[in-house]
């Protein structure tokens, strides 16, 4: 592995742990936005959105989450 590949693998492992994702979101978003996230809907999307030629250099980590509406609070 190159160091870039190794770093991407560590990031994917880190974000495969739900608590790590929640901690990341808590530290990234302002509390008024974080409070609107429905963490029960937090999932990992394993779909690939990268062109085949670029896969060697890039990876996308997609973790969809639903935003709470007034009726779901």
Instruction: Provide the residue-wise pLDDT of the chain in tens; the chain has 73 residues.
Output: 455 556 667 777 777 788 888 998 999 999 999 999 998 888 877 666 677 777 666 666 667 788 888 765 5
Residue 62 bridge partners (DSSP) = 45
| Amino acid 59: pLDDT | 60
| Amino acid 1: pLDDT | 45
Query: Cβ neighbours of residue 65 under 8 Å, at least 6 residues apart?
Result: 25, 37, 38, 39, 41, 42, 43
pTM of the model: 0.60
């Amino acid at each position: 592995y190159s160091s870039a590949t190794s770093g991407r693998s560590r990031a994917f492992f880190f974000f495969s742990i739900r608590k790590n994702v929640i901690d990341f979101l808590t530290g990234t978003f302002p509390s008024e936005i974080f409070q609107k996230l429905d963490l029960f809907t937090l999932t990992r999307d394993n779909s690939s959105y990268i062109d085949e030629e670029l896969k060697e250099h890039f990876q996308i980590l997609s973790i969809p989450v639903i935003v709470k509406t007034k009726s779901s609070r």
